[in-house]
Amino acid sequence: MTETMARKGDTSKQAAGGRMPRPRRLQAPGLPWILPALILSVGLIYYCILYTVDISTLNWDGASPDPESVGLANYARIGRDPVFWKAVTHTVIFFVVTFSVQTVLGVLFAVLMHSKIKLAIVYKVIVFVPVVLAPAIMAPVFRQMYAADGQFNWVLEHIGLGFLAQPWIGQDSTALAVIMAITIWQWTGLTFVLYHAAMSQIDQSMLEAARIDGAGNIRTLVSIIWPSVRGTTVALAILGAIGALKTFDVPWLVTVAGPNNATQFLGTYIYQMTIQLAHVGYGAALSIILLLLALTMAIILQLVGREKKGLR
Amino acid sequence: MFEVRSRRNKILLQLVATAFVLPYLFPLIVMVSGSLAGHGWKNYADVIQVPGFFRFFLNSAIIAAGVIVLVYGVTMLAAYGFAKLHIRGREVYFWMLLACLTLPEVVLLTPLFTTTQQVGLYDTYWSVILPLAALQVPFAVLLTRNFIKGLPDEMFEAARVDGANSMRGFLYLVIPLTKPIAAAVLIFTLIGAWNNYLMPLVFLQSQEMQTITLVPQFFIGQFSNDQTRILAAAVLTAIPEVIAYLCLQGLFERGLSAGAIK
């Protein structure tokens, strides 16, 4: 999206130059207009980033007036920090799983709701409501639901899967899965609404032609619907990747990043380091690495998306 | 999309849809039934009687309103400037703003913590309003600028020829014509501010300043982990959001979708 915009910007400039030499005076100076936004956003955010870069070279507890400068030692420590690598691994797993499952479910719901089923509006509301609810408010519900004596195990027992019952959030092996399940529960509604909108744009005559040629439901989905919504998929991938790097609320409130760092993410780790353990310098170095990861991710996915579009 | 002709397949499709939707309903059922366990409706009465319970709502509303006003104001001005006015090095400014989209909010904690304490903004509404607005503005500007760019240049030129300066162009053309996109901006800013947890957690220390996202942990302290009342509190804090969504379904879906595509 951003890149198409940039392109549009270029062409309009060329057109303005080529078509009619419009006197500049007619376009009032715009700098004062964008200044408030620049001061608020760029000012505050870049100030914070530079400040963080500065702190990241210190061995600082956040309170002592005269912190010791340690150069890049904090960054060197990150490379050797097993918890950091754990958090990175969790982020990657989290992104791959939540993105894939949400995409499958989102496309499925979108197709189903386009298929003249009964009560479609009620279903849509149920799937979308989680998007509106704050994770912080839902956290106690999920803590109870996935506890050893919680309702999730109760359901498993009543549908004959009682042997699967276990303390889902209390053990390393399943805690991350719970965090991912909650995230999927929360965001499928958005994925679904976006795909639903994208599918409304598909040319109906194309679908009809495919059917006349004998394509079944599955074939139509794979060969026509799925390629038509690629733009949405790319956008959701970018959003999901950045979202995964920003993950904080759910692992913090449901499992407190535990047990044994089993649900540690970069956001929760930075919070623990900075606020709880007062390793402010190290937390700042982690923040900078996180920021670089997010920027790199956005650029890579933007380029990948552009390439795919170019090929088509 | 899917075509089913026979009655049997129609029922099958309906069943599949229901089977996939039910898991989404389940946590909500757990929440409501859990909140009524034990003493039933009395749990709600207990929660409402806790002194200062409505203060959380008031604080969230004040913060959300502050963020919305700030974001709307600077976004409209900037989007108009970027879309229709002459700015040397415009793309540079624009990309500086866009780069902020990727920023994880946790990066802001330490600098803002130190700075707000130095300038005396710590534990005030501003310590939450300013960073939240700063984080929302880049995307709001991106959306609104695209929208304003789509408005015909001729209209603005005609206004200028008729003697309207850029301020009048802004007030009489931009503000009324951008209503659809402003609604989307309003919704995702509202949800972003209302649901935010990290900023109030770090920057609002005193009880009477805290927001609804801090309600669960407040009640965990208040009721020493009495799950039923904690869930009753969760239901009460969720209700305004659900009602707002049900009343403005289309607007919420459009607004949040617009807010999602980066």
pLDDT at A7 over 50: no
* More confident: A17 or A228: A228
**Which letter, b or e, does each residue of B116-134 get, where b requires 16 or more Cβ atoms within 10 Å of its Cβ?**
beeeebbeebbbbbbbbbb
Nearest chain B residue to A110 by CA: give it. Answer: B1
pLDDT band at A300 (very low <50, low <70, confident <90, very high): confident
Nearest to B30 by CA among B237, B242, B234: B234
Nearest to B232 by CA among B246, B219, B214: B219
CB A31 within 8 A of CB B81: yes
Min distance B87 CA to chain A CA atoms (Å): 5
pLDDT of residue A26: 53
| A257 vs B: CB within 8 A | no
pLDDT of residue A228: 87
pLDDT of residue A211: 85
A170: which DSSP letter?
Answer: T
The ranges of chain B with pLDDT < 70 are 1, 225, 259-262
Q: Which of residues 47-86 of A touch B (CB under 8 A)?
A: 47-49, 51-52, 55, 62
pLDDT band at A309 (very low <50, low <70, confident <90, very high): low
pLDDT of residue A10: 43
Angle value at C-alpha A134, between B256 and A289, nearest 5 degrees: 80
The DSSP line for B158-170 is HHHHTT--HHHHI
**Mean predicted confidence (pLDDT) in A262-267:** 94
pLDDT band at A161 (very low <50, low <70, confident <90, very high): confident
Interface test mutation site (partner B, options A52, A105, A138, A141, max chain B beta carbons within 10 A): A141
Interface test mutation site (partner A, options B211, B253, B254, B256, max chain A beta carbons within 10 A): B253
pLDDT of residue A80: 92
Contacts of A40 in chain B (CB under 8 A): 70, 74, 130, 133-134, 137
* More confident: B253 or A47: A47
pLDDT band at A13 (very low <50, low <70, confident <90, very high): very low
pLDDT of residue B98: 86
pLDDT band at A116 (very low <50, low <70, confident <90, very high): confident
For chain A, what is the radius of gyration of the CA atoms? Answer: 24
Span A189-228, pLDDT tens digits: 999 999 988 888 888 888 888 888 888 888 888 888 898 8
Interface test mutation site (partner A, options B12, B26, B30, B106, max chain A beta carbons within 10 A): B106
The DSSP line for A227-272 is HHTHHHHHHHHHHHHHHHHH--HHIIIIITT-STTTT--HHHHHHI
* More confident: A162 or B93: B93
Min distance A44 CA to chain B CA atoms (Å): 7
Contact yes or no for A111 and B146 at CB 8 A: no
pLDDT of residue B7: 84
Mean pLDDT across chain A, nearest whole number?
Answer: 85
Nearest-by-Cβ selection for A291 from B26, B104, B157 = B104
Residue type, A152: F
ipTM of this predicted complex?
0.88
CA atoms of B195 and B214, how far apart (whole Å): 10
CB A282 within 8 A of CB A276: no
Contact yes or no for A9 and B91 at CB 8 A: yes
pLDDT of residue B37: 84
Q: Which long-range contacts (CB under 8 A, 24 or more apart) does B195-199 make?
A: B195/A133, B195/A134, B195/A135, B195/A136, B195/B241, B196/B128, B196/B132, B197/A134, B197/A135, B197/A136, B197/A248, B197/A249, B197/A253, B198/A248, B198/A249, B198/A271, B198/B105, B198/B106, B198/B109, B199/B105, B199/B127, B199/B128, B199/B131, B199/B132
Contact yes or no for B17 and A144 at CB 8 A: no
Interface test mutation site (partner A, options B18, B102, B185, max chain A beta carbons within 10 A): B102
**Mean predicted confidence (pLDDT) in A97-108:** 95
pLDDT of residue B38: 80
pLDDT of residue A27: 64
Nearest-by-Cβ selection for B242 from A24, A62, A132 = A132
Listed range (A113-117, A166-170, B256-260) with the worst mean pLDDT: B256-260
Residue type, A271: Y
A58: which DSSP letter?
Answer: E
Identify whether B180 is preceded by a cis peptide bond (ω within 30 of 0).
no
pTM of the entire structure? 0.87
Span A119-147, pLDDT tens digits: 888 999 999 999 999 999 899 899 989 98
Contact yes or no for A40 and B14 at CB 8 A: no
Place of tokens 């060197």: A76
| B252 vs A: CB within 8 A | yes
Contacts of A114 in chain B (CB under 8 A): 1-2
pLDDT of residue A307: 66
Which residue intervals of chain A are DSSP H helices? 2-19, 31-37, 44-55, 73-80, 82-113, 120-132, 135-145, 151-158, 172-200, 204-212, 217-220, 226-228, 230-246, 249-250, 266-271, 280-311
CB A144 within 8 A of CB B231: yes
